[in-house]
Amino acid sequence: MNLDEFSLRTLCAGLRERTFSSEELTQAYLQRIEQHNARLGCFITVDPERSLSQARAADARLARGEGGPLTGIPVAHKDIFCAEGWLTTCGSRMLSNFVSPYDAHVIQCFNEAGAVILGKTNMDEFAMGSSNETSFYGPVHNPWQPAHVPGGSSGGSAAAVAARLAPLATATDTGGSIRQPAAFCGISGIKPTYGRVSRYGMIAFASSLDQGGLMAPSAADLAWGLGTLVGFDERDATSVARPAEDFNAPLDSSLEGLRIGLPRQYFGAGVDPEVARALEEALRVYESRGARLVEVDLPHSDLSVPVYYVLAPAEASSNLSRYDGVRYGWRAQQYGDLNEMIARSRAEGFGAEVKRRILIGAYVLSQGYYDAYYLQAQRVRRLIQQDFLQAFEQCDVLMGPTTPSTAFRFGDKGSDPVQMYLSDIFTIGVNLAGLPGMSIPAGFDGQGLPVGLQLIGPHFSEARLLAIAHGYQQATDWHARVPGQGEKA
């Protein structure tokens, strides 16, 4: 079975028409993982026996004429989502021995839909990173150029989808962790509006910014899976109750008259010329389909990175205080009293980047600095959100680069955290404002590395964003390119 040839939609159709079984499909993906994972490092945990058992159960449902669109479809899950009976590490040493006793809401939704858990994907430790270099389990390699990073923190999910080790993968986005790796790996990724996806059972980094989402080759694939992901959950106080939505229905909507906002701040200095050139070509495709380009302003966008790196570490320092070696997770082997046990467990269990952010967060929340840093950052966050709302009065969607450059080499930014943080400069504002955002493939640079086009919409405009992305992908084939082939699959 040549998995390069199938979209998620055709896989779903094949299962229903009994062209192949879920067990056969799952086995094909497991074989591909076994063949490529040692080289790419996409998966932390794979359990073939458990996956094939789920696949056989899905086949039984399909034989009875039951099940939904995703019944029998293998799905890779970022290792930030708790899954009952599965090792759930969050890419860390701290949780390297934690087997979850319950399912996250996201996992529960896919299980109820009859999807098959293909495995748990690698990620930056506690989702803190932009390159997947901070994982306790080693880095993930970009399938297009293995010497380059796949992006982070959802690099394992992105690389797995790009290499066709999975047709669909869950991911999370706190400051760009779906869109940035999607751009680096040449796939499509969507971060829904904050509150559309329950955070129950999703290991917390920064609670006011974290949001679950999906990665797949195309926008049509994302539309096929998004209905399973979104929905109200009373166990999450930030979960938003919205009417059920069919994300497939508007996919073929016309782009005629679409107003595309181009933020001045996204097209200036700092953007790689090859990225800018690819985006110009993408925008011409939209114009040829009837869209109109409108220049807009996001005057506070240059403050998004400093605001994020005050607020996110502050929330992280609070969320990660639960890892103390007492109840679960890593515990130091040698210690004297309780205080020393906690101190040693945290010193041994957390990596350098996580420690850095905990210290920053504790500092900005400390007495004497709370007003100067944390409260001030919250005020600027409101200004950033207002900039977006005002921009949407002039346009229907914002577009620009997902990242300033294509994927960089391993080690290029590791010694300079600020340069690493700046790779998220175009994605962070979306999280601060709670907006939905997407990245879709828009070409390649001279090294053969993918370029990502970012789409940003008003709150709860996921269906419109998917349709706008799909319109572009009907006119191009960047989303169909597979690493190692160079041409359409």
Which residues neighbour 36 within 8 Å (Cβ) at sequence distance 6 or greater? Answer: 42, 163, 165
- Taking the C-alpha atoms of residue 348 and residue 330, their distance in angstroms, rounded to an integer, is 8
Positions of E strands within 40-196: 43-45, 74-78, 116-121, 169-172, 188-191
- Taking the C-alpha atoms of residue 354 and residue 348, their distance in angstroms, rounded to an integer, is 12
- Taking the C-alpha atoms of residue 234 and residue 144, their distance in angstroms, rounded to an integer, is 41
Question: Annotated catalytic, 78?
Answer: yes
**Full 3-state SS string of 101-146:** CCCCHHHHHHHHCCCEEEEEECCCHHHCCCCCCCCCCCCCCCCCCC
Tokens 């190692």 correspond to 484
Contact 253, 466 (CB under 8 A): no
Catalytic residue among 22, 92, 135, 153: 153
Q: Which residues pair with 75 in a beta bridge?
A: 117
- Taking the C-alpha atoms of residue 338 and residue 137, their distance in angstroms, rounded to an integer, is 29
Catalytic residue among 7, 21, 78, 345: 78
Catalytic residue among 7, 22, 92, 177: 177
- Taking the C-alpha atoms of residue 189 and residue 440, their distance in angstroms, rounded to an integer, is 7
Catalytic residue set:
78, 153, 177
